[in-house]
Amino acid sequence: MNSKEKVKSARRFDGCPVTETSAGIPLKEVYRPADLEGMDYRKEVADPGEYPFTRGIWQNMYRGKLWTRRVFTGLGSTADTNKRYKYLLEKGASGLYCFGDTITHQGIDPDHPLARGYAGVSGVSIVCLKDMHALFDGISLEDVSVSFNNPSMAAVVVYAAFVAYAQNMGYDLKKISGSILNEPIHLVYSMYETNAKPLGLAAKLATDVIEYSIKNTPRWHPIAPNAYDLHEKGANAIQEMAITIAIMEEYIQRMLKRGYAVDEFAPRVNVFGCACDMDIFEEICKFRAARRVWARTMSEKYGAQKPESCRLYLSVHTSGNSLTVQQPVNNVARVTLESLACVLGGLQSFDPAGYDEGYYILTEHSALTSLNIHNILAYESRVASVADPLAGSYFVEWLTNKMEEEMFKVINKINDMGGAIQATESGWIGAELDRELIREQQEIEEKKRIIVGRNEFVVSKEEEVPIMVGRDRPLEEQMATSEKRENEIRRLRETRDKKKAKDALTTLGEEAARGEAHNLIPLIMTSLRANATLGEILGTIRVANGATYDPYEVLHGQI
């Protein structure tokens, strides 16, 4: 080596190069009392547990109840998932998470021609009532909350199956708790869009779940809109919360039209599933601002009187998109920071992503690491001991105010267009998300956004810290799993009381044609008890509403 060649540090900057938030809000070098001039503590911030809940929804926050410590779960078979649930409960999890497989989200059955290879892949397959029995065998539903990640029309069937199962087992419906995603509007521009159409029908079915739930499963959260997917598809922190609140207004208005007073249902439709990305202060302020926007919307726009109608429960899956495939061990640091932001932001529940999320669904190792991030934050770090510890920071309060202002701008724009369904169908929201997605990607490309190991501080594969990551199942195994599932459902169709199933579906179809006011949950439960399947139930409802039986138009009725 030539002695003139010296090793240079790989650092690029001596000063921090960042001068704006991830959403593009310009930042000053320092914030001072003048930045908060005129701010009224009691009106705008207020103590934790008090309107407008900027500082959190409970007076003593985590001293009263720690956040629900969930870990992402959803493995091939219902029996595998059941085993993982028991493992996580033993290790200290306090809530269970159920992620449906691709075809459950799509609302099609495992023997649908397009489902080949997909049943039980990257999620659990829920098709019939028997599946709920297998999934929750040996787990007391009165002691643990279950969070279902079913966003599409399929949610109505999954919820009905869960309630029917709870009844079969003799649980007190008043005691079961948990949530279901159940929000189809966002699907149009985020994922699984096929099963959100027709959008009006999808929103009607989601409203059926809300209506049935507030009467029968009062501790259940019947809708938990998916702000997460919006974020992962491009939405910045402001858009993520603003669009979600605008979407929720659709359901609030439907429930008002069905004759309910806002305070009857609002306390149960106030759980959002969000993302938490790497801009830690922006995320903390996003949570604080969103609580205030929600509280003000409920109180000032819809006239809610009860404080519980104005409380917004926030839950998070830390951003998968923020993780790297390179040097997966670094993701433990990312997920920990994001989880810290969740705690400092006063969340009710979150699940730290697995460090190997870029590879496959969590292994037992990465699930344990995620669970221990919870445990370290909750029990070792002492960050949970004081409610909203960042309040009063000139910067945090200023950014919270700024984000509130920006969120209201987006919400007002959507309302001016006639609401979230119109803003979706016109393509406006989709275009907004694409623009932000492209901006973010370009900033990564130009190294305006540094991602360690991805666009800077890159090391060769050999230099990476060895760490175990999840592996895809080989194709043959994936096909075999799916085929086994397909056969199970075929067998169910052959061995069930065919007349009973057919009669139940016929009755359901008649009721489904009667319009908005006819809640379909009771008859969906009857159909499930007659061993009808997810695809059949949704197909019947779709046909009754003038849509095709099969969202993909391959099948034309099954029985």
Partner 1 sequence: MEDSANRKIKVVVALPGLDCHDRGIVYLSHILRKAGMEVVYLGKFNTPEHIVNTAIEEDADVIALSYLNDHLYMLFFPRVVELLKEKGCGDICVIAGGRIIEEDRPKLREIGITGFFGQSTPVGEMIRHIEDRVKSERWVEKS
Return residues touching partner 1 (CB under 8 A).
102-103, 106, 114-115, 117-118, 121-122, 191-194, 232-234, 321, 324-326, 358-359, 434, 437-438, 441, 445, 454-455, 458, 472-475, 478-479, 552
Please report how close the Cβ of residue 234 comes to partner 1 at its closest, in angstroms: 8
Residue 351's φ and ψ, nearest 5 degrees, are -125, 120
Three state DSSP letters for 80-104: HHHHHHHHHHHCCCCEEEEEECHHH
**Closer to partner 1 at the Cβ: 455 or 507?**
455
Please report how close the Cβ of residue 450 comes to partner 1 at its closest, in angstroms: 12
Three state DSSP letters for 106-171: HCCCCCCHHHCCCCCCCCECCCCHHHHHHHCCCCCCCCCEEEEECCCCHHHHHHHHHHHHHHHCCC
d(CA 136, CA 123): 15
Among the listed residues 263, 235, 261, 260, the one whose alpha carbon sits nearest the alpha carbon of residue 247:
235
Q: What string of DSSP letters covers 178-196? A: EEE----GGGGTSS-GGGG
Residue found by looking up tokens 């510890």 in the block: 389
**Closer to partner 1 at the Cβ: 189 or 251?**
189
**Closer to partner 1 at the Cβ: 48 or 539?**
539
Among the listed residues 16, 39, 24, 17, the one whose alpha carbon sits nearest the alpha carbon of residue 396:
39
**Closer to partner 1 at the Cβ: 249 or 434?**
434
**Closer to partner 1 at the Cβ: 108 or 508?**
108
**Closer to partner 1 at the Cβ: 122 or 372?**
122
Please report how close the Cβ of residue 363 comes to partner 1 at its closest, in angstroms: 15
Residue found by looking up tokens 């090793």 in the block: 7
Please report how close the Cβ of residue 178 comes to partner 1 at its closest, in angstroms: 24
Furthest-apart CA atoms within the chain: distance in Å? 88
Please report how close the Cβ of residue 166 comes to partner 1 at its closest, in angstroms: 30
**Closer to partner 1 at the Cβ: 482 or 519?**
482
Residues 6+ apart with CB under 8 A from 97: 70, 71, 72, 73, 74, 146, 147, 149, 351
Please report how close the Cβ of residue 350 comes to partner 1 at its closest, in angstroms: 22
d(CA 356, CA 366): 7
**Closer to partner 1 at the Cβ: 433 or 508?**
433
Please report how close the Cβ of residue 316 comes to partner 1 at its closest, in angstroms: 19
Please report how close the Cβ of residue 548 comes to partner 1 at its closest, in angstroms: 15
